[in-house]
Amino acid sequence: MKKMNTRTIAQLAVLIALEVVLSRFLSINLWSNKIGFAFVPVAVTAMLYGPLTTGVTAAIADVIGAVLFPSGAFFPGFTLTAFLNGIVFSLAFHKRQTAPRILLGVIARELGFSLFLNTLWISIMYGSPYFPLLIGSRLWQCLIMVPVQFIVIFVLSKAMNGYLRKVTA
């Protein structure tokens, strides 16, 4: 875990705030689907910091968003998913952002956690049958979000390349 100083805490606070805003106000939210760009601050955190910092930051953003701007009942499973998403993103492209690593991270996040795990949480919360929910609506969200996330994170990593070299040097 990277040493925490005032600058690091401030950067993480801004990224948490950005994730909350993107997730709660600038996303398309339906009862079983959410399409938006809340993954961007998590991806930036993953590029800058290690897995534990990114996972904890994503989990804190989820809790703050759920407490300050609830869109339903709080369910800790989604916080666990946020934590795991941060870890996977960081393991995939912390310090090395290549197209295959970004694609691997996005696929692992979307298929592993968004599709299967979040569908389980939604099924538990609302008492909906798991497989019809998985195939009926959640699969389409993931199929849309994989290329969107890949393109956005790939372009972002190229744009941040100089900054990342300076920060990690």
Query: CATH number of the domain that 150 lies in?
Result: 1.10.1760.20
The amino acid at residue 19 is: E
Does 44 reside within a domain? yes
* Each residue's pLDDT tens digit, 29-87: 665 567 789 999 999 999 999 899 999 999 999 999 999 988 778 999 999 999 999 99
Alpha helices (H) in the chain, listed in sequence order: 6-24, 39-48, 51-68, 76-93, 99-107, 118-126, 130-133, 139-159, 161-168
* Each residue's pLDDT tens digit, 103-156: 999 999 999 898 899 999 989 998 989 998 888 888 888 888 899 999 999 999
Range of the domain at 54: 6-168
HSE of 84, CA atoms in CB hemisphere, 13 A: 16
Does 40 reside within a domain? yes
* Number of separate domains in the chain: 1
8 Å CB contact between 42 and 54:
yes
pTM, 2 dp: 0.89
Looking up tokens 């399409």 gives: 35
Does 1 reside within a domain? no
